[in-house]
Amino acid sequence: MATNSIDLDAYFQRIGYTGPRTPTLETLRALHLAHPQAIAFENIDPFLRRPVRLDAESLQQKLVVERRGGYCFEQNTLFRHVLDTLGFHVTSYAARVLWQREEGAITARSHMLLCVALKEGEYLADVGFGGVTLTGPLLFRPNVEHPTPHERFRLLPVDDVMGVGFIVEVFTGDVWRRLYRFDRTPQFVQDYEISSWYLCTNPASHFLNTLMVACPRPGKRYALRNNELAMHPLSGPSERRTLTSVAELRATLEATFGIRLPDSPDLEPALERLVTAGNAETPAG
């Protein structure tokens, strides 16, 4: 991947990172925690029927300069550019999302993740999986629980009708839940552009029909689905509330998730539709 357009100073300022710039495990862990806490997962552009661009210049402009967020292809492509620039050895993979899917479901390769080779071993890196985005890299060691600053994760080998690969699971709600499965076939930006285009144009895509925003914070995670806001602490019950006005929705996107909203004439009507639909579904009394 070309990296000559990545402004590391601007990126580090965006995520609040002031540490070493050496390609070490310590650096990778620090960046992997800082990035998702500063740059929220969000699909505002597909939701507004705006194109998603994956070239380095567009990603830096949107996620760094304009202080927006993005979905997996944007988040992990930018993160790979940063890691490449720092001298890390990175391979990109594609995954089939299994989160909240029935057992045995066969899904398309619609998620991007990274593998970083270090002297300590290979580590999975993924800063773009929505409400359960990793906040630390996972050592590529199957059948072992891996702690992160948030939940525990594990990597399970699998060999079935879909071939040989691995499933990533997270321990949440006192059970192990599947996130996605992948194999070790290297992917390139052209592969992701096709998947991203499909998710942004298919009328049935949930990225077009549902507003989804998420970010981790120390000791908790925030998630927004349309106008329903949830806060999930690492210990204790989740808290949920319905946002009942456009002003409240905008304030939550800006303050809770740290998103500088785009100056688009389509944004206000889209948020109004979410609030109106949500209020209509809420019973009176």
On the question of pLDDT at 283 being above 80, the answer is: no
- Mean pLDDT over residues 221-230, rounded? 98
On the question of pLDDT at 285 being above 80, the answer is: no
On the question of pLDDT at 1 being above 60, the answer is: no
Cα gap 143→99, rounded to integer Å = 19
Active-site residue, selected from the candidate residues 35, 45, 81, 126: 126
Phi, psi for 174 (deg, rounded to 5): 70, 15
User: Which of residues 3 and 249 earns the better pLDDT score?
Assistant: 249
On the question of pLDDT at 284 being above 90, the answer is: no
User: Which of residues 105 and 34 earns the better pLDDT score?
Assistant: 34
On the question of pLDDT at 277 being above 60, the answer is: yes
Residues 230-251: b if buried by 16+ CB within 10 A, e if exposed: eebeeeeeeeeeebeebebbbe
* 35 catalytic residue (yes or no): no
Give the class (CATH, top level) of 208-281.
alpha beta
In the chain, the percentage of residues whose pLDDT exceeds 70 is: 96
Cα gap 23→10, rounded to integer Å = 18
State the pLDDT at residue 154.
98
pLDDT in tens, 110-128: 999 999 999 999 999 999 9
On the question of pLDDT at 282 being above 80, the answer is: no
Cα gap 63→214, rounded to integer Å = 15
If pLDDT is split at 50, 70 and 90, which confidence band does 231 have? very high
State the pLDDT at residue 99.
94
pLDDT in tens, 51-108: 999 999 999 999 999 999 999 999 999 999 999 999 999 999 999 999 988 888 889 9
Active-site residue, selected from the candidate residues 32, 35, 45, 72: 72
* 200 catalytic residue (yes or no): no
Cα gap 23→20, rounded to integer Å = 9
- Average pLDDT, whole number, for the chain? 94
* 111 catalytic residue (yes or no): yes
State the pLDDT at residue 208.
96
- Mean pLDDT over residues 27-37, rounded? 98
On the question of pLDDT at 151 being above 80, the answer is: yes
Structure tokens that stand for 23 in this block: 């390609």
Active-site residue, selected from the candidate residues 32, 35, 81, 111: 111
